[in-house]
Amino acid sequence: MSSAAIVDETKVESNTTAETVVSVQGLVKVFKDFWGRPKAHAVNNVSFEVRRGEVFGLLGPNGSGKSTTVKLLLGLLNPTRGHIEVFGHSTRHVATKRRIGYLPEESYLYRYLDSAETLDFFGSLFDLTSDERRQRAEQLLEMVGLDKVRRRTVGEFSKGMQRRIGLAQALINDPDLIILDEPTSGLDPIGCREVKDLIIELARRGKTVILSSHLLADVEDVCDRVVIYYGGKIQAIGTLKELLSTPDRLRITTPVLGRETLEKVLNIIRTDLNKGAEDVLVDSPTQNLESYFLDVVRKARSSAKETSGATSGGNVAEYLRSSSGEPAKKDRILERLSSSKPVAEQVEPAPVQKETKEEISKRLQTLLNKTEPAAPAQEPAAPTVENKKDMSKANEKLSGLLGKKEK
């Protein structure tokens, strides 16, 4: 992690080019006991901004202040000190909540309502007409894979199914800001992938997403920027690129090379680096477990007929797609997930630019021609399958920063 990524807590990032959706300034939340004595400093002098279209991650171990921050943003708690604005208004501004969708960390839904009734009820709170509510409920239930169990009450749902219906209710109003607290908790790998893809899809259409999660891989997959909490304070904030890139290392990905060519390249590199073979690694890319699992399920689904639980999600709800006027590139999430291509190639985090084969060859040629030690690349390599393989390394780095990884 670059040292620049370690934040000065009082310094607020500023970006005048994008609309600020959430602004948090000097936020402090002290929980008090019955007698009004301070019990815990849950959030301590936190400042950050979230801009339109960003997927912003809140990361930290238990008790670090993530959920408290989320609840402060939603007006469920009052700040002890500091200032919060959401869309330029106080968190208690009722009309602003029309633009917010919220998925809490646990299912706080009414257990005696079925899926369709749940969505209809929450739609009513947004003054949607009955036609709108019905249409959106249909699309959302299909999207989260609950259209086959729409008449089962939420109380009968598994945890994963409750997350799905929770996510659907968070999107019933086509929100501009979506706050998701542990959105993949309890979901199967397909569900996790669907949720992550949905987040990316929403962000691509100009929605702002604030994501609080313990799962580092989730955060890494979808977030543009993250803030890392510990002890109620921000320990680090920045883009994933800023936090995760290692400027003194370089990875080259090529098609399979002949032994002679490979030896030549290695010799050049060793000569150039003036080091032994132990510092240069050559291996073949492998598919990660997630994409392998999805491939197995895709094949199984082609022969299996029915399941009593949730099915894979379908189309992104039409009203969510049409909000930006941009046509959806991939209609069926399932198809995209289950394609034989490595998952990482399908998911394209916005700030990372993908390099073409020509560009990679050109860079390789440049490296080969150089006599000076290679400078760190300006941009990290495109997320490839090899990147996924290194996810564990990234996790290790973040875990080192956070302490023990949460369950």
Partner 1 sequence: MKPIYAIAKLTVKSAFRFKIVALLAVFLVLAVSALPLLLKDDGTARGFVQILLTYSLGLTVTTLALSTLWLSCSLLAKDIEDCRIQMLVVKPVSRWKIWLGKWLGVMTINALLLAIAGGVILGLLQYRSAKLNEKQKHVLQNEIFVARGSAKEAPVDLTQDVENIFQQKMTEGSTQGEVDKAQLKKQIREMLKYQYQLVPEGHMRVWNIPLGMAAHTLKDKPLYLKTKFIAMSHTSTFEDTRSFPMMWEVGPMNSPQSWRTVIMMTPNVSQEIEVPPNLIDEKGYVQVRFINDQDDTFFFDMNDGLEILYRQGGFFINYVKGLSILFCWLGLLAAVGLSASSFLSFPVAAFFAAFVLILGLSTGTMTQVIEEGGVTGVDHETGKIEKQTTLDHVSVVIFKGLKNVTDIVRGFSPVELLSSGRTVTWGMMFRAVLQVVVVMGGLFAALGMYCFTRRELALVKGGQG
Contacts with partner 1, residue ranges (CB under 8 A):
31, 40, 42, 60-68, 71, 74-78, 94-98, 100, 102, 104-106, 108-110, 112-113, 117, 121-122, 124-127, 169, 212, 214
Residue 178 Cβ vs partner 1, minimum distance, rounded to whole Å: 12
Distances (CA, A) of 207 to 19, 83, 379: 12, 23, 26
Q: How far apart are CA 44 and CA 28, in angstroms?
A: 5
The span from the CA of 365 to the CA of 137, in Å, is 55
In the complex, least distance from residue 109 CB atom to partner 1, rounded to whole angstroms: 7
Cβ nearer to partner 1, comparing 95 with 300: 95
- Smallest gap from Cβ 67 to partner 1, in A, equals 4
* Residue 214 C-beta: closest distance to partner 1, Å: 8
Tokens of 8: 């000065």
- The minimum distance between CB 173 and partner 1, in angstroms, equals 8
Beta bridge partners of 178: 101, 209
- Closest by alpha carbon to 46, among 85, 10, 88, 20? 10
**Of 108 and 292, CB closest to partner 1:** 108
**Dist CA 50 CA 24 (whole Å):** 9
The Cβ of residue 111 has, within 10 Å, a number of other Cβ atoms equal to: 12
**Of 109 and 265, CB closest to partner 1:** 109
Q: Quick one: CA dihedral 374, 380, 385, 391, positive or negative?
A: positive
- The Cα–Cα gap between 192 and 64 comes to 24
Nearer to partner 1, 80 or 246 (CB): 80
**Least Å from the CB of residue 87 to partner 1:** 12
Q: Please state the closest distance from residue 75 (CB atom) to partner 1, in A.
A: 7
Which residue's CB is nearer to partner 1, number 218 or number 355? 218
**What are the helix (H) ranges across 205-245?**
216-222, 240-244
The bridge status of strand 100-103 relative to strand 177-181 is parallel
The CA distance from 129 to 337, in Å, is: 34
Q: Give the residue with the Cβ less far from partner 1, 247 or 403.
A: 403
Among residues 66 and 388, whose Cβ is nearest to partner 1? 66
| 237 φ, ψ (degrees, to nearest 5) | -150, 145
Q: Using the minimum distance from each CB to partner 1, give the nearer residue, 232 or 383.
A: 232
CA distances from 342 to 2, 287, 313, 388, 389 (A): 29, 7, 20, 9, 12
- Please enumerate in sequence order all residues whose Cβ is within 8 A of that of 95, keeping only pairs 6 or more positions apart, or say none: 89
Query: Cα separation of 82 and 229, whole Å?
Result: 17
| Least gap, CB of 243 to partner 1 (angstroms) | 20
Cα atoms in the Cβ-side hemisphere of radius 13 Å centred on 76: 9
Nearer to partner 1, 39 or 275 (CB): 39
Tell me the closest approach of the beta carbon of residue 158 to partner 1, in angstroms.
19
